């Protein structure tokens, strides 16, 4: 009875794959290859001449303690953004899942921030927390707390983390909610009949069953924190104060497009490429084992 569709044409599968492969080649392999090639040179900005330096750009970077500090900043930033955006989204999804009346209104409202571009989100948060004219900063001052993220590195980090996570909460929320609704009600009801409390039901049944979603979001959120938060940082702190919020991808930008140092910028992209590759491998190899499908 089992019906199988078989394509006898040997070329067709390749043809069907071709657009995707072409896109990957043009938009990923080609630029990545260029970056690797350029990382071995120190060119002048106009491309009039360039000096071959081999691994010189990498040596320069890895002996630069500010570059190494940027690694640490990136780890702290990405961890905070991921934990905050996923934690908040999970909490909101669990709550929204329980709401019966007007749940679609809640859901719609919770998804809205995702439509806001990172740079715009950055400006919104900057307006609220501007030490001089910001509304929140003003209230904080009224309560006796002198908010000044322009000079205080902890406050600056906190602000870019919240602004970055805020937008991503919506995205995570959607996936968590879908994940929650896919969990069979009968399992939860059985546990409830056995007298398990809500918290216990959540940690022993819902959370493990949600693990594929959580794992997927973990990968997506780390990639987000590494790359897409650029706009938020550019608009709020521009990497400051001192270098408190200079994450790796921001340094790629500032060295390449502000400093016109394309060799160093290319070398940093290559390093970043390897870091994210490594991270993804680790995630799939070690964390995925704990995931129940």
Partner 1 sequence: MAYRKTLAGLVAATILAGSTGVSYAATEIQWWHAFTGRLGDLLAEQVEKFNASQSDYVVVASHKGNYSETLNAGIAAFRAGEQPHVLMVFEVGTATMMGAKGAIKPVYELMAETGKPFDQDAYLAAVAGYYTTTDGEMLSLPYNSSTPVLYVNRDALSAAGIDPDADLSTWEKVGEALDKLKASGSSCPLTTAWQSWVHLENLSAYHDVPFATKENGFAGVDTELAFNGPVQVAHIEAMGQWAKDGKFIYAGRRNEGGARFRSGECAFFTESSAGYAGVKAEAEFAFDIRPLPYWASVEAAPVNTIIGGASLWVMTGHEAAEYAGVAEFLNFLSSADIQAKWHQDTGYLPITHAAFDQTKAAGFYEANPGTDIAVIQMTGKAPTANSKGLRLGSFDQIRGIIDEELEAVWAGDKAAKDALDNAVERGNQLLRRFEQANR
Q: Nearer Cβ to partner 1, position 47 or 195? A: 47
Contact 280, 219 (CB under 8 A): yes
Q: Nearer Cβ to partner 1, position 21 or 150? A: 150
Q: Work out whether the CA dihedral 110, 111, 115, 121 comes out positive or negative.
A: positive
Shortest reach from residue 263's CB to partner 1, in Å? 7
Q: Where are the alpha helices (DSSP H) in the chain?
A: 12-24, 30-38, 56-62, 65-98, 103-111, 118-129, 135-142, 153-182, 185-193, 198-201, 207-209, 211-223, 230-236, 248-253, 262-282
Q: Nearer Cβ to partner 1, position 61 or 188? A: 61
Shortest reach from residue 72's CB to partner 1, in Å? 16
Shortest reach from residue 125's CB to partner 1, in Å? 16
Q: Nearer Cβ to partner 1, position 132 or 186? A: 132
Q: Nearer Cβ to partner 1, position 122 or 263? A: 263
Shortest reach from residue 132's CB to partner 1, in Å? 6
Calpha distance 236→19 (Å, rounded)? 38
Contact 257, 169 (CB under 8 A): no
Q: Which of 267, 232, 263, 262 is nearest to 250 (CA)?
A: 232
Instruction: Provide the binding-site residues for partner 1, judged by CB under 8 A.
Output: 42-51, 53, 60, 64, 66, 131-133, 150-153, 238-243, 254-255, 257-261, 263-264
Shortest reach from residue 126's CB to partner 1, in Å? 11
Q: Nearer Cβ to partner 1, position 28 or 66? A: 66
Shortest reach from residue 148's CB to partner 1, in Å? 9
Q: Which of 39, 77, 59 is nearest to 243 (CA)?
A: 77
Encoded tokens for 44? 């002048």
Contact 233, 250 (CB under 8 A): yes
Peptide bond before residue 241 is cis, with ω within 30 degrees of 0? yes
Q: Nearer Cβ to partner 1, position 146 or 189? A: 146
Shortest reach from residue 223's CB to partner 1, in Å? 26
Calpha distance 38→121 (Å, rounded)? 33
Contact 260, 47 (CB under 8 A): no
């Amino acid at each position: 009875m089992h019906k199988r569709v078989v394509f006898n044409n040997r070329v067709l599968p390749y043809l069907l794959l071709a657009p995707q492969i072409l896109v990957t080649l043009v938009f990923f392999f080609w630029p990545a290859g260029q970056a690797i090639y350029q990382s071995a040179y120190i060119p002048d900005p106009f491309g009039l001449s360039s000096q071959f330096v081999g691994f010189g750009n990498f040596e320069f970077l890895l002996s630069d303690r500010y570059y190494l500090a940027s690694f640490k900043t990136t780890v702290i930033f990405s961890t905070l953004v991921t934990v905050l955006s996923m934690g908040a989204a999970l909490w909101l999804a669990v709550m929204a899942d329980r709401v019966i009346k007007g749940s679609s209104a809640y859901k719609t409202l919770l998804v809205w921030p995702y439509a806001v571009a990172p740079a715009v989100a950055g400006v919104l948060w900057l307006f609220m927390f501007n030490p001089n004219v910001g509304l929140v900063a003003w209230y904080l001052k009224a309560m006796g707390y002198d908010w000044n993220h322009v000079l205080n590195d902890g406050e600056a980090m906190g602000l870019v983390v919240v602004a970055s996570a805020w937008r991503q909460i919506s995205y995570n929320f959607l996936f968590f909610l879908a994940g929650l609704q896919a969990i069979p009600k009968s399992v939860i009801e059985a546990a409830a009949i056995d007298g398990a409390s809500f918290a216990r039901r959540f940690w022993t049944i819902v959370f493990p069953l949600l693990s594929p979603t959580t794992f997927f979001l973990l990968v997506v959120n780390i990639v987000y924190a590494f790359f897409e938060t650029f706009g938020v940082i550019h608009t709020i702190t521009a990497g400051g104060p001192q270098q408190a919020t200079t994450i790796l991808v921001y340094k790629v930008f500032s060295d390449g497009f502000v400093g016109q140092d394309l060799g160093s910028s290319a070398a940093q992209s290559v390093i970043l490429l390897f870091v994210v590759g490594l991270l993804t491998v680790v995630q799939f190899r070690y964390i995925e084992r704990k995931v129940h499908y």
